[in-house]
C-alpha cells in the first residue's frame, strides 16, 4: 500500500514537471528562430492574380477568387529540369506570369512553369556579383572585381568597363549604402542603355584590418573615408549597347565630392533623373539629364535645410501618365510625405496631406490611386491607406492594430496583408484594394506558448519637450512586486532604427526575455533622433549626437525608478554600434545611475567615423569642433566609475578598431580599469554561433557585477 502511494506521488510529480513551462537556453535566445512567428513567403505570380508559396508538395498556386490550390512545380520536377538533387525548393522570383527565376551555382535559370522546362539559362564567370536583369533587353549586367559586364540572351559576354586601377569601382554600391542606395546598375526601360555608378576612391585613405587566418597574419586594407577627410568621387555613366560607348552625365553641381542618388530613368528611356546632394548634405537639386549626350537639361527643383536633406528613394512615374511622377521628402512639411510633380518640376499637389511619416507602396496602372503605409494612427504602427490622385480623398485600408507589411498585386486589385501586434503573433490576409478581407491565408499560433515569459508592456512617457517616447518593458519571470529587481537598460538610440513597435512581443530580442527569466527588469525606449516621428524629432540631434538621446534615455530610467520593485542601485546598460556609443556615454555621464555597462562596436569619436553618415549628423570636425569635442568619449574615459566591458569585432569595416582601442588607451593613461574582449574574426556584428559566446559573455558580466 505504501509503495502504491509513493508511486502515485511520483507519477503526480512527473505530470507536474512536464506541465511546467520552459526557460530559454542561451542558444535559443540567440539563434532560436523557431521562437519568432514564421509566415509563408507569398509572392504574386507575375502580374497574374494568383498567389504562390512553398508547401510540402512544392511550389503552390492559389487563385484569389475561389482559393483553389494547385501544384505548379514539385521539387522532383525542378530537379529534373535543373539536373540537380535538391532536397527542398530554393529561393525564387517571378519574371512574368509563367516564368520562374532561380539562381544556382553561378547560373540564373528562367523556367517555363507550364511546360516545366528551362526557357533560358544565363551562366556567369567565376566571381560575378550584382547580377541585374533587363527584361526589355533580356540581358543581365554583372560585376567582377571592380569592373562591369553584361551577358546577352545568346550567352555572349561583353565588357562595359576595363579599369585596371582598383581604386576605380564600377557598377557597385556607392556612398556606403546611405541615401537609400542599394545597387549600382540601372538598366533603361527599353534595355538599350545601361546606367552605372563609377566610384573613384584614389583619394580615400586606407584602413588596415588584421586577418589572423594565415600562418603569419595578413593586413587587408579597406577604403575608409573618415569625417572631414577626402571622400570618394562618384559619377554616373550611361553605356549604349548598340555603339558600345559610355557617356558620363554632367553632374557637377557641388564639385566632385557630392552624392548622386535616386537614379531614375524616364519611361521613354531618353532622360535620367538624379538627386544631386552636396557633401554638406543640406542642399539637394533634382536634375534631369539627356541620356545620350550627358548634358544637364534642367534643375526641376531644390531642397535646402538648416540641418540636413536626406533623399531616400527615386522617382515613381505614373503608368498612365509618363509626364508625372511621385516624389517623397520630409523637407517640406515636416514629415516624409508624397508629392505629385510634372516632368518640368511643377508641383501638382501634395498627395499625402498628413502630419506623419508615410512610405510609398504602389500606384495602380490606371493612375487613379496611390497606396502608402502611414504612421498617422500611431508612430509604433504601420497602416495602409490609399489616396485618390485627382481628388486627394484618402481611405484607410487596414483596420487591425499593429505593424502591416503589404504586397500589392500587379494590377493593385488585391494585396496580401502580413501583420502582427503585441496581441497577435502573425496574421496573413488576402484583401481587396478597398480593404475588404477576402480570406485569411495564415494565422500563426504563439511560438512562445511553451515558455515561461515575463510580462511585456508597450507604453509611452513624456520627454522634456512634451513629445511621446515609446518604451518596451519586460518584467522578470514569476514577478513578485514585493521584491526589488536589477535593471538591464538596452539601448540603440541612433537614426534609422526604431526598437519599439506594436508588433509581436513589441519587437523584443529573445536575449531580453532570457535576462527577464533570470531575474532582471529589461527596459528599452526610443529617443529623439529615431524614425517615424517627423523631421524635427529626428533633426534635433544634429551637430550633437548623443546629447538629447541621453536625456531621453535617462528620462525613461527615472520614470522606471519610481516603481518600488526596481532596485535603483543595480542598473546596467548595454548596446551595440550607436548603442555602444550611447552605452559608454551613459555610464560616463551618469555614473550615479549606471553601475555596469557592456558596449559593443562603439563609436568613440565621430571624427573616426565615415563621411556619409557622420557628416550628415555632425558636419565635419572643421565645421563643428565644439560638437565633436562635446560628444567625444575620449575625454570621458577618466570619468568612468562603474564596471565597463567593451566587445569589438577585430575586422570591423564599419566602426573600425581604432575607435575602441583609442578609448582603452585613454583609460590606461588615466589609470582607469576597463574590460575588453575582441572577437578576432568578427566584423561589425558577431554572427552565427560565435554570437552565442558573445551574449553569454555579456550575460556573465551582468551576473558577476550587477546581480
Q: What is the CATH number of the domain that holds 111?
A: 2.40.10
Which residue among 412, 445, 478 closes a domain?
445
Is there a single domain that holds both residue 303 and residue 319? no
Backbone torsions φ then ψ of 245, nearest 5 degrees: -120, 150
Whether 572 is in a domain gets the answer yes
Beta bridge partners of 237: 196, 248
Which residue among 123, 141, 165 closes a domain?
123
Is there a single domain that holds both residue 336 and residue 243? no
Q: If you write DSSP's letter for every residue of 575-591 in order, what string do you get? A: EETHHHHHHHHHHHH-T
464 belongs to the catalytic site: no
Tell me which of 10-24, 536-550, 662-676 is least confident: 10-24
* Number of C-beta neighbours around residue 630 at 10 A: 14
C-alpha cell at 372: 502608402
Is there a single domain that holds both residue 616 and residue 689? yes
Whether 78 is in a domain gets the answer yes
C-alpha cell at 200: 573613384
Is there a single domain that holds both residue 468 and residue 526? yes
Is there a single domain that holds both residue 473 and residue 425? no
% of the chain beyond a pLDDT of 70: 97
Whether 14 is in a domain gets the answer no
Contact of 422 with 502, CB cutoff 8 Å? yes
Q: If you write DSSP's letter for every residue of 89-142 in order, what string do you get? A: ----EESSSSEEEEEETTEEEEEETTTTEEEEEEE--TTEEEEEEETTTTEEEE
Is there a single domain that holds both residue 395 and residue 468? no
Beta carbons within 8 Å of 11's beta carbon, 6+ residues apart = none
* Number of C-beta neighbours around residue 649 at 10 A: 26
Looking at the predicted structure, is the pLDDT value of residue 8 above 80?
A: no
Backbone torsions φ then ψ of 666, nearest 5 degrees: -70, -35
Going by pLDDT thresholds of 50, 70 and 90, the confidence category of residue 687 is: very high
In what helix (H) or strand (E) does residue 495 lie, and over which residues does it extend?
none
pTM: 0.95
In 3D space, the residue among 343, 344, 241, 258 whose CA is nearest the CA of residue 292 turns out to be 241
- The C-alpha R_g of the chain, in whole angstroms, comes to 28
Is there a single domain that holds both residue 109 and residue 150? no
Count: domains in the chain: 4
Is there a single domain that holds both residue 477 and residue 538? yes
Is there a single domain that holds both residue 267 and residue 383? no
Q: What is the CATH number of the domain that holds 614?
A: 3.40.50.1820
Looking at the predicted structure, is the pLDDT value of residue 641 above 50?
A: yes
Domain range for residue 249? 133-201+232-311
> Exactly one of 675, 684, 690, 693 is catalytic; which is it?
684
What is the pLDDT of the chain when averaged over all its residues?
96
> Exactly one of 231, 409, 577, 632 is catalytic; which is it?
577
Whether 66 is in a domain gets the answer yes
C-alpha cell at 495: 537614426
518 belongs to the catalytic site: no
pLDDT tens by residue, 451-495: 999 999 999 999 999 999 999 999 999 999 999 999 999 999 999
Report d(CA 489, CA 298) in Å as an integer: 51
Q: What is the CATH number of the domain that holds 420?
A: 2.120.10.30
Going by pLDDT thresholds of 50, 70 and 90, the confidence category of residue 20 is: confident
270 belongs to the catalytic site: no
Is there a single domain that holds both residue 376 and residue 418? yes
Whether 344 is in a domain gets the answer yes
Whether 520 is in a domain gets the answer yes
pLDDT tens by residue, 107-139: 999 999 999 999 999 999 999 999 999 999 999
pLDDT, average across residues 396-400 = 98
Is there a single domain that holds both residue 608 and residue 466? yes
Is there a single domain that holds both residue 534 and residue 405? no
Which residue among 445, 469, 492 closes a domain?
445
Going by pLDDT thresholds of 50, 70 and 90, the confidence category of residue 201 is: very high
What Å distances lie between residue 350 and 163, 285, 286, 341, 365, CA to CA? 45, 19, 17, 9, 20
Amino acid at each position: 500500500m505504501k509503495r502504491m502511494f509513493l508511486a502515485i506521488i511520483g507519477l503526480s510529480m512527473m505530470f507536474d514537471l512536464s506541465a511546467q513551462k520552459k526557460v530559454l537556453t542561451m542558444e535559443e535566445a540567440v539563434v532560436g528562430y523557431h521562437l519568432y512567428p514564421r509566415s509563408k513567403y507569398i509572392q504574386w505570380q507575375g502580374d497574374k492574380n494568383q498567389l504562390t508559396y512553398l508547401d510540402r508538395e512544392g511550389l503552390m498556386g492559389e487563385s484569389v477568387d475561389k482559393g483553389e490550390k494547385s501544384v505548379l512545380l514539385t521539387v522532383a520536377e525542378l530537379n529534373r529540369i535543373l539536373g540537380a538533387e535538391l532536397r527542398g525548393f530554393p529561393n525564387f522570383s517571378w519574371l512574368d506570369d509563367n516564368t520562374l527565376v532561380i539562381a544556382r551555382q553561378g547560373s540564373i535559370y528562367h523556367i517555363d512553369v507550364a511546360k516545366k522546362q528551362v526557357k533560358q539559362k544565363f551562366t556567369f564567370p567565376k566571381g560575378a556579383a550584382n547580377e541585374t536583369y533587363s527584361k526589355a533587353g533580356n540581358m543581365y549586367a554583372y560585376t567582377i572585381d571592380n569592373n562591369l559586364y553584361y551577358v546577352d540572351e545568346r550567352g555572349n559576354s561583353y565588357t562595359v568597363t576595363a579599369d585596371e586601377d582598383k581604386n576605380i569601382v564600377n557598377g557597385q554600391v556607392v556612398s556606403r549604402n546611405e541615401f537609400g542606395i542599394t545597387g549600382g546598375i540601372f538598366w533603361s526601360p527599353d534595355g538599350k542603355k545601361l546606367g552605372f555608378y563609377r566610384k573613384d576612391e584614389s583619394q580615400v585613405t586606407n584602413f588596415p584590418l588584421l586577418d589572423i587566418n594565415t600562418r603569419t597574419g595578413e593586413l587587408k586594407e579597406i577604403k575608409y573615408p573618415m569625417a572631414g577627410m577626402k571622400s570618394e568621387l562618384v559619377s554616373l555613366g550611361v553605356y549604349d549597347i548598340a555603339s558600345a560607348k559610355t557617356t558620363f552625365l554632367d553632374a557637377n553641381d557641388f564639385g566632385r565630392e557630392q552624392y548622386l542618388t535616386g537614379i531614375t530613368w524616364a519611361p521613354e528611356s531618353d532622360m535620367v533623373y538624379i538627386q544631386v546632394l552636396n557633401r554638406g548634405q543640406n542642399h539637394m537639386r533634382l536634375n534631369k539629364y539627356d541620356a545620350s549626350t550627358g548634358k544637364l537639361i534642367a534643375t526641376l527643383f531644390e531642397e535646402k535645410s538648416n540641418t540636413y536633406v536626406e533623399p531616400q528613394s527615386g522617382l515613381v512615374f505614373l503608368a498612365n501618365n509618363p509626364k508625372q511622377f511621385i516624389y517623397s521628402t520630409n523637407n517640406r512639411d515636416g514629415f516624409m510625405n508624397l508629392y505629385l510633380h510634372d516632368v518640368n518640376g511643377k508641383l501638382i499637389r501634395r498627395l499625402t496631406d498628413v502630419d506623419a511619416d508615410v512610405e510609398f507602396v504602389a500606384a495602380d496602372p490606371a493612375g487613379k490611386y496611390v497606396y502608402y503605409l502611414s504612421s498617422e494612427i500611431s508612430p509604433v504602427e504601420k497602416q495602409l491607406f490609399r489616396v485618390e490622385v485627382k481628388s486627394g480623398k484618402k481611405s484607410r485600408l487596414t483596420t487591425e492594430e499593429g505593424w502591416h507589411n503589404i504586397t500589392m498585386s500587379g494590377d493593385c486589385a488585391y494585396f496580401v496583408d502580413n501583420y502582427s501586434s503585441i496581441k497577435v503573433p502573425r496574421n496573413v490576409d488576402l484583401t481587396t484594394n478597398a480593404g475588404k478581407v477576402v480570406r485569411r491565408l495564415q494565422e500563426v499560433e504563439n511560438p512562445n506558448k511553451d515558455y515561461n515569459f515575463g510580462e511585456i508592456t508597450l507604453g509611452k512617457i513624456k520627454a522634456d519637450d512634451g513629445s511621446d517616447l515609446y518604451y518596451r518593458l519586460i518584467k522578470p519571470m514569476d514577478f513578485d512586486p514585493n521584491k526589488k529587481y536589477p535593471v538591464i537598460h538596452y539601448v540603440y538610440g541612433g537614426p534609422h532604427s526604431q526598437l519599439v513597435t506594436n508588433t509581436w512581443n513589441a519587437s523584443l530580442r529573445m536575449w531580453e526575455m532570457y535576462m527577464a527569466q533570470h531575474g532582471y527588469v529589461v527596459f528599452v525606449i526610443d529617443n529623439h533622433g529615431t524614425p517615424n516621428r517627423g523631421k524635427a524629432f529626428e533633426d534635433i540631434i544634429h551637430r550633437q549626437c548623443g546629447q538629447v538621446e541621453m536625456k531621453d534615455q535617462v528620462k525613461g530610467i527615472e520614470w522606471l525608478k519610481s516603481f518600488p520593485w526596481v532596485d535603483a542601485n543595480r542598473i546596467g546598460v548595454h548596446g551595440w554600434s550607436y548603442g555602444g556609443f550611447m552605452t559608454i556615454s551613459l555610464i560616463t555621464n551618469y555614473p550615479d545611475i549606471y553601475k555596469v555597462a557592456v558596449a559593443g562596436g562603439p563609436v568613440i569619436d565621430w571624427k573616426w567615423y565615415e563621411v556619409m553618415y557622420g557628416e550628415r549628423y555632425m558636419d565635419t570636425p572643421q565645421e563643428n569642433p565644439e560638437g565633436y569635442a562635446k560628444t567625444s568619449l575620449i575625454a570621458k574615459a577618466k570619468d568612468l566609475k562603474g564596471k565597463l566591458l567593451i566587445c569589438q569585432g577585430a575586422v570591423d569595416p564599419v566602426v573600425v578598431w581604432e575607435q575602441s582601442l583609442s578609448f582603452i588607451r585613454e583609460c590606461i593613461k588615466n589609470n582607469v580599469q576597463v574590460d575588453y574582449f575582441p572577437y578576432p574574426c568578427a566584423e561589425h556584428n558577431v554572427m552565427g554561433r560565435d554570437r552565442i559566446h558573445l551574449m553569454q559573455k555579456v550575460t556573465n558580466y551582468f551576473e558577476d557585477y550587477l546581480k
